[in-house]
Amino acid sequence: MKEILIPFLEIGGLSDTIAVAQLKILIAAAALAALSFPLAAEGGAVPSQSATGSNVINSLPLHLELAGMKAAKAPEVREGRLVLSVSGPYRAVAAAFAHECFAILHPFDRNRQGVFVLAYPIPLKWKGNLEYRIVVDGVWTLDPCDPEMEIDPDTGLALSVAEVPYISDLKLGVYQVLGGEEGRTARFVFRAASGESVSVCGDFDNWDPFIHEMAETSPGLYELDLPLAPGRHYYTYIYRGEALPDPLNPDKSSNLDGKVVSVLTVR
């Protein structure tokens, strides 16, 4: 393994906190560059999977769009992802985001036209803009294609800014029913008409449809947090006298009567 030489920063009048932060950033960038350079030198692409595995694209239209991009352009949102791009004779490009404390580097892919592209999944239930910086061949900088920027009041660093939409997690297979500090609190959520009576019942209350009535927290949105004991639990929602499985939970089974119920496994 090659030795990585890290130059000292010219701190000037910056505070010690900023200096330490910059040093950590430089070390991480140097590590990324050292890992990516051999691939680029041999004509390969930058690793397509980010540090969190979030850069795997399952959408064929989006994949084809990124593969056919001939020039970098301003950030835009496509299918719930923030699409970033960089053009230039670089070896490795990555992005790091403020909401992740710049601790994770998300490598760009390089398409056949030589454009570096990244389709970063917008965090669910995120309100506001995304702030980020680009790492080009180990050097941290602003996104050259993004005209929007702001100064971080804590560090004094300039950050690129991208406007992104709010994306709900209330989708089948996406919403995490179990939460809480120990992962034992079931966060039941059900959408219906406003002003209705909705409850949840299961093996945890002997299938009583009246014990656990859900509160309407906003028009048409009913919620209930319920701690559950470890083990496998079966449940349904009661809406207008009908027992319905959880539309947000893909894990289902059938009871003795042959009716479909939802399943939760508390570890």
Whether the per-residue pLDDT at 263 is higher than 70: the answer is: yes
Whether the per-residue pLDDT at 38 is higher than 60: the answer is: no
pLDDT digits (tens, 9 = 90+) for 58-82: 899 999 999 999 999 999 999 999 9
CA-nearest of 46, 43, 76 to 62 is: 76
Q: What is the CATH number of domain 178-266?
A: 2.60.40.10
Count Cβ neighbours within 10 Å for each residue of 21-41 and write b for 16 or more, e otherwise.
bbeebbebbbebbeebbeebe
What CATH architecture does domain 16-162 belong to?
Sandwich (2.60)
Specify the 3-state DSSP secondary structure of 137: coil
Q: How many CB atoms lie within 10 A of CB 228?
A: 18
Question: What is residue 26's DSSP assignment?
Answer: H
First to last CA, the chain: 42
Q: Where are the domains of the chain?
A: 16-162, 178-266
Cα separation, 134 vs 184, in Å, equals: 39
The phi and psi torsions of 77 (rounded to 5 degrees) equal -100, 130
- Residues whose CB falls within 8 Å of the CB of residue 186, separated by 6 or more in sequence, listed in order: 177, 178, 225, 226, 227, 228, 233, 235, 264, 266
Contact predicate 106/118, CB 8 Å:
yes
pLDDT digits (tens, 9 = 90+) for 174-224: 999 998 778 899 999 999 999 999 999 999 999 999 999 999 999 999 999
State how far Cα 226 lies from the chain centre. 26
Fold agreement between 16-162 and 178-266: yes
Q: What is the pLDDT of residue 256?
A: 81
pTM of the model: 0.67
CA-nearest of 235, 243, 195 to 215 is: 195
